[in-house]
Structure 1
Amino acid sequence: MPTSDKQVFVTAVEKQHGQNLRRYLASRLRNAAADLPDLVQEVFLRLLRVEQHETIRNPQAYLITIASHVLHQHALRQAANPEPTEMLDALFEMQSTVEDPALQIETQQRVAQLEQAMKQLSPKARSVLVLHRRDGFSLDEIASHLGMSRGMAKKYLAQALSHCRQRMPAQE
């Protein structure tokens, strides 16, 4: 199949459904301004890879299906490469404002313990914890982004919090 046919097809789909795609993605992103252009591009690149585009009966539905997969993978990538969680941020902030060397060492140890505890979590539990604590996602949003039920998201969050609490000794 000639590449130009694919390009004509994708261009037509973009003209007809591009705005709806952008609205769909933006409504499901926390940081739409930064992530939206990349995700839109990824959706259309995947559409370009379709070998037999003439078999697509409903281009808009197909585009939204691709977008859902792109969103899911984006959420997994975000969660798999977490920045420090709010707990870590708070500990780092405490560490920088503490002038007592003994307290600084204790805070450094707590940060190391928390990092180690998070490394021991399953990828799904870590993803749920990071999305909840760092990004402020609700359980429903987490479930939607990671493609799981609300109950499973709640279960993974409970596991992650319990795991971290068990590995973090109580502060005196």
Structure 2
Amino acid sequence: MSFWRNTLAKLFEDHRRQLVAMVVRRIRDREVAAELVQDVYARLMQSGDCGEPEANTKMLYASVRNAVIDHHRSTFGRAKAMNGVLPDQIWQCETTSPYDHAEARQALSALDRALLELSPKAREMFILHRVDGISNAKLAKKYGISVSAVEKQLARTMRHCQERLAAYRDDVL
């Protein structure tokens, strides 16, 4: 295993700059790119040696390309989840009847209760992102965590809110 660690460390030393540049071209975020490349390094450290130096290099580049694809998939999934609770789905500004108005207020109350069930940090992060429009990168910096961790927390929060609002969203949609 020690031989593989040395081999992999040398591979990363030789190719890290090119790998990060390749990822930056695809996702347009240097910080996330560096994080993805580091994640690949950690995973490959556990996987083991392919044998030939050329095969190891190919595996390294293929693993980074796959990590970019996985990142795009998860980002798309999170974005889809984040758009799952939109204001127009819960609040109809120009309600035509008292019934519609009462139903919309109930949905807002349910959302409020769902947010109160969260940890203060998760609730604050969600409000900063959804209401104030703070980017994931700025949230990551504010809380001292990775952008990926922010995205995962926001996705968990969205799932929680969607579960609590399921009855109201079906009626409003």
Give me the TM-score of the superposition, normalised by structure 1. Answer: 0.46
Greater relative contact order, per chain length (Cα 8 Å cut-off, separation 6+):
2
